[in-house]
Amino acid sequence: MPSELLRVQNVTKTFGRGHSAVKALRGIHLHVPPGDIVLIMGPSGSGKTTLLTIAGGLLKPTTGEVMINGHNIVPMSETKLPTVRRDNIGFVFQSFNLLDSLTALENVEVALFLRGIKGVAAQKRATELLTRLGLRDRLHFRPNQLSGGEKQRVAVARALANDPKIILSDEPTANLDAKNGHDVMQLLCQIACQEHRGVVIVSHDSRLRSVAKRVITIEDGRLVREERGQHECTCTMKQHTFHTH
């Protein structure tokens, strides 16, 4: 396993040209080793989501490097990037992004289909993930039959389906109440601490400081502060088991 799963090196991003150009990121550096939980905070428009999108290979930076498992993805063609994302990165979104016409089980299976895993093998893998996330009795429920917390757990299961080493999460607790938000925070903690994955979270939710190992603040496209999170005080993973294999 590489010493760094993700490295963003001197990344800038400018939208538009000339007088209308907007500098969204200005020389950002970020590194994520296995087992790390990085919380990125900052005001709206600070560049947080742009950084997460670039780190996930969904957007090209104007300058700089994005290293995933030691490989710079910036020069890669648009035909190669989907495979890199599929094999290395799991995304968890604020709005869940579940397909309304599919059951919880089928939503997770879709991610496996993209890797060529189908039929009984896909069903088994999806069932195992959803069961371990406490959704054994919700396998055949559609999103409109699930609570917000249950939808987010389905989204986490889908993100883990292809066994990625990097989880990128955009406002994972924004649409959840206190209890479900806490449950999702503990899931992210488990994913990092027990599975040795790197977790990067963009959020306005200061509660996430309790699971973060590092808290990075971005303002006006610049990294202005890095602090230790409260993870060591709140992590209970030594007393629990969680495996996604």
Q: What is the pTM of this model?
A: 0.90
pLDDT by residue (tens digit) across 182-213? Answer: 888 888 898 899 889 999 999 999 989 999 99
For residue range 147-159, list pLDDT tens digits in order: 999 999 999 999 9
User: What are the backbone dihedrals phi and psi of residue 200, each rounded to the nearest 5 degrees, phi first?
Assistant: -120, 125
pLDDT above 50: residue 242: no
Domains and CATH numbers, the chain: 6-239 (3.40.50.300)
206 CB neighbour count, 10 Å cutoff: 10
Of residues 146, 150, 172, 31, the one with CA closest to residue 90:
172
Lowest mean pLDDT among 41-45, 79-83, 104-108, 182-186: 182-186
**DSSP secondary structure string for all residues of 18-35:** GGG-EEEEEEEEEEE-TT
